[in-house]
Amino acid sequence: EVQLVESGGGLVKPGGSLRLSCATSGFTFTKAWMSWVRQAPGKGLEWVGQIKSKIDGGTTDYAASVKGRFTISRDDSKNTLYLQMNSLKSEDRAVYYCTMVGSGWYLGHWGQGTLVTVSS
């Protein structure tokens, strides 16, 4: 069974940093493309970015709203995905979901999410 478990959320001050983790199991992580999606309170879903498998180049892509501030990385030895968030703004407050990207650019499996609050 595919499992994605996010952690690392919490309260951070504007301008601060936070690193989210997504521990995975039940599939071959090294071959998987992974993505982060967020949802601000009471708002819709927003695609944050993705990382390809190392076999496919390991490259990353980001939404314009986070590019230059957020970095997605992976540790294949730990089957874990990361989201490093810097220069956080109040509008980054959201539940952050880890997802697995299926062939065909879709989000195939979802974690339960972790809440990030940005407030002074």
Partner 1 sequence: QTVVTQEPSFSVPPGGTVTLTCGLSSGSVSTSYFPSWYQQTPGQAPRTLIYTTDSRSFGVPDRFSGSIVGNKAALTITGAQADDECDYYCVLYMGSGISVFGGGTKLTVL
Task: Give the type of residue at 99.
Answer: T
- Contact positions vs partner 1 (CB under 8 A): 35, 37, 44-47, 50, 59, 61, 63-64, 97, 102, 104-113
Give whichever of 68 and 77 is closer to partner 1, judged by the CB atom: 68
d(CA 11, CA 100): 26
Residue 17 CB, shortest distance to partner 1, in Å, is: 24
Nearest approach, Cβ of 111 to partner 1 (angstroms)?
Answer: 7
Nearer to partner 1, 74 or 113 (CB): 113
Least separation, in Å, of the C-beta of 24 and partner 1? 15
CB contact at 8 A, 88 and 15: yes
Nearest to 117 by CA among 6, 24, 14, 11: 11
